[in-house]
Amino acid sequence: MKVAKAEKKAILVDFTGSDWCGWCIRLKKEVFDQKEFAVATKDFVLVELDYPQKKKQPAEEKAKNKALAEKFGIEGYPTILLMDSHGEPFAQTGYQAGGPVKYLAHLTDLLKDNTSQGKAKFAQGKKDEVLVRGYGEELETLLTPLLEKKDLAAAEAAIAKFVGEKKNLVGAAKVGLVVNARVGSVQACKPGDHAAVLKVLDDIIADNPAEFTGELKQFRAQVAAAAAAKAQK
């Protein structure tokens, strides 16, 4: 943070499992270790926080890294967290295929979110993740007996009732929970039925503002492509 403030740069933190995480190892080899990636230091102070399983770490370093992972809610590796010079996160990413040039372009795009609005959106997204995870566990308990009986109609009714009762579940968090629950229910009751999944996605997209369905539309395109490929076989 001291260096970032002095040099007027953002901070890129790589939370990695250097000796066990396959995607971490690939990201380092394919991107971070490539000479083309060195230009990233024009915009970022680069930090690596390692969580090895075999390599020995000093107890103090291990404790600090653990505390930082908990502070920023790191749940998987690699996690690439982008922060402003004061240590406030504004974007998060991970492994991306395509090498250093493509990754640099990706980081440049994310750097646009280093604004007060971008940081507020990121913070809200983290809160939404916690909310969705908690409600998702509750909903799973309700749905499990219904899905075991392949009762899709009852599962859909239970989802609608549950979501309707959670007044603090709004926006992207609501869409995320509904997508997970409804798509999961269809897949459990009608495995391999792409048409049924597409119908659910279309319903959710139609029922929600476009600002919350951008990623969902991308997922729909992937499902549609898989359906088309299956039809051609």
pLDDT (0 to 100) of residue 214: 87
pLDDT digits (tens, 9 = 90+) for 137-150: 999 999 999 999 99
pLDDT (0 to 100) of residue 231: 85
Q: How many residues are listed for the chain in this entry?
A: 233
- Whole-number Å distance between alpha carbons of 185 and 188: 5
Domains defined along the chain, listed by start: 2-114 (3.40.30.10), 119-232 (no CATH)
| Whether pLDDT at 232 is above 90 | no
Name 118's Cβ contacts closer than 8 Å, sequence gap at least 6.
Answer: 90, 91, 112
pLDDT, the chain, mean: 95
Query: What is residue 210's DSSP assignment?
Result: G
| Whether pLDDT at 233 is above 80 | no
Let me know: does 12 contact 80? Beta carbons within 8 Å. yes
**Percent of the chain predicted with pLDDT > 70:** 100
pTM higher than 0.75: no
| Whether pLDDT at 112 is above 80 | yes
pLDDT digits (tens, 9 = 90+) for 44-86: 999 999 999 999 999 999 999 999 999 999 989 999 999 999 9
Single out the residue of 110, 128, 120, 99 nearest to residue 12, CA to CA.
110
pLDDT (0 to 100) of residue 79: 97
| Whether pLDDT at 128 is above 80 | yes
Average pLDDT over residues 162-173: 92
What is each CA distance from 62 to 51, 65, 68, 213, 229, in whole angstroms? 8, 5, 10, 39, 47
pLDDT (0 to 100) of residue 1: 96
